[in-house]
Amino acid sequence: MRRLAVALAGATCCFALPASGQTSAGDTAALNWSRMRGAEACPDLAELARRVSAHLKRDAFVSPTKATVLVDASIQPAEPGFRVRIVLSSSDQATPGERALTSLSPDCNEAIDSLGLNLEAGYLAPRRLTIPVQERAVGGEFSLLSGQLSGAWSPYRRAPLVLSVLAGPQFARVLARGFGFTGSNRDVGSWLVSGTVEGEATWALSERWDLLLRLGLGVPIWRDSFEASTSSGVTTILEPSPFFGTLKVALAVSP
């Protein structure tokens, strides 16, 4: 199985901002940051708050006693990479927002950056909080280059028509590139090896030119699926079918 990319960006979390980019009076937030076992080397509470405040160009958080919204975030190892959980709750014990983020990078700073971007975009006020889902086109681009060896048997020959049966192996090189993903979009490739049987009708148009019509059936002997890692698991983008059909029309010339 071939992995196309490290993380699917099919849904992202964002918090609605007022036009001014500032919070309104009474809308203040406190940050609680927990580093679970295995994530002790990740940035601490002070560093996370500093990063968010630097981007907002103001103090993003206040003490819990002055806050109307609590941002409770935690990070823990998730093989591979890290998983971040964010819960927003208001002073009346309501929970207006919850989000889980997954990074497959072994560097926890990538997960911290994703967390910071979500918090930086946050209005952090339960009265105004929205968590829309933004869809992005994701998938893979595939190309195939094939070659075929066939032996032919022609049981019927009566001018201008010749009927033949062809059989043999087919070799194909499949190349793929993921798009719409976060992280690496590296190219990957695989071989496709199939056995084919085809029926061919040849109609002589002249002494040098023939019209060919060929119907075929192929059965992959070796095939590979292409997958993408997502925050919720693994998604198959392409999996060759257990058999395939072909239709070929061509003009043949004899020198």
Per-residue pLDDT of 112-159, as tens digits, reads 877 777 766 553 433 333 333 334 455 667 788 889 999 999 999 998
Question: How many Å apart are CA 204 and CA 156, to the nearest integer?
Answer: 14
The pLDDT, as a whole number, for residue 230 is: 57
- Residue 45, number of CB atoms within 10 A of its CB: 14
How high is the pLDDT of residue 124?
40
- Cα–Cα distance between 182 and 160 in angstroms, integer? 59
Return d(Cα 73, Cα 75) in angstroms, integer. 7
What pLDDT does residue 93 have? 58
Q: Tell me, what's the pLDDT at 166? A: 95
Q: Which CATH class is domain 139-253?
A: mainly beta
pLDDT for res 169 = 95
Which stretches of the chain drop beneath a pLDDT of 50?
1-25, 123-136, 183
Residue 83, pLDDT score: 86
List the structure tokens of 216: 């075929």
How high is the pLDDT of residue 1? 46
- SS (HEC) of the chain: CEECCCEECCCCCCCCCCCCCCCCCCCCEEEEEEECCCCCCCCCHHHHHHHHHHHHCCCCCCCHHHCCEEEEEEEEECCCCEEEEEEEEECCCCCCEEEEEEECCCCHHHHHHHHHHHHHCCCCCCCCCCCCCCCCCCEEEEEEEEEECCEEEEEEEECCEEEEEEEEEEEEEEEEEEECEECCCCEEEEEEEEEEEEEEEEEECCCCEEEEEEEEEEEEEECCCEEEEECCEEEEEECCCCCEEEEEEEEEECC
pLDDT on residue 190: 84
* The predicted structure's pLDDT at residue 143: 83
Give me the amino acid identity at 210.
D
May I ask the CATH architecture of the domain 17-120? 2-Layer Sandwich (3.30)
pLDDT at site 254? 84
Domain ranges in the chain are 17-120, 139-253
Q: Is the entire prediction scored with pTM above 0.85? A: no
Given a contact cutoff of 8 angstroms between Cβ atoms, the answer to whether 108 and 91 are in contact is no
Q: Quick check: 60 and 53 in contact, CB under 8 A?
A: yes
Q: Are strands 139-148 and 161-179 parallel, antiparallel or unpaired?
A: antiparallel
pLDDT at 17: 29
Q: Are 86 and 118 in contact, with CB atoms under 8 Å apart?
A: yes
Antiparallel, parallel or unpaired: β 161-179 and 151-158: antiparallel
Contact 169, 195 (CB under 8 A): yes
Of 4, 1, 2, nearest to 230 (Cα)?
Answer: 4
